[in-house]
Amino acid sequence: MDNLDKNLFTEIINQAVSVDLPDGSGAAELVITEVESCSLNGDEWESFCVCLQGEDNCHLPQGTYQVSHAIFGTQDIFLSPKSPTDYEIIINRKKA
Three-state DSSP class for 9?
helix
| DSSP at 40 | T
pLDDT tens digits along 17-44: 999 998 888 899 999 999 998 887 778 8
- Closest to 93 in 3D by CA, of 32, 2, 17, 21: 2
**Which domains does the chain possess?**
6-94 (2.40.10)
Q: In whole angstroms, what is the distance from residue 37 CA to residue 58 CA?
A: 27
Q: In whole angstroms, what is the distance from residue 76 CA to residue 17 CA?
A: 13
Could you please report the per-residue DSSP string of 45-86?
Answer: EEEEEEEEE--TT--PPSEEEEEEETTTEEEEEEEEESSSSE
pLDDT tens digits along 59-80: 999 999 999 999 999 999 999 9
Task: Give the model's confidence band at 1: pLDDT under 50 very low, under 70 low, under 90 confident, else very high.
Answer: low
Q: What's the pTM value of the predicted model, to 2 decimals?
A: 0.89
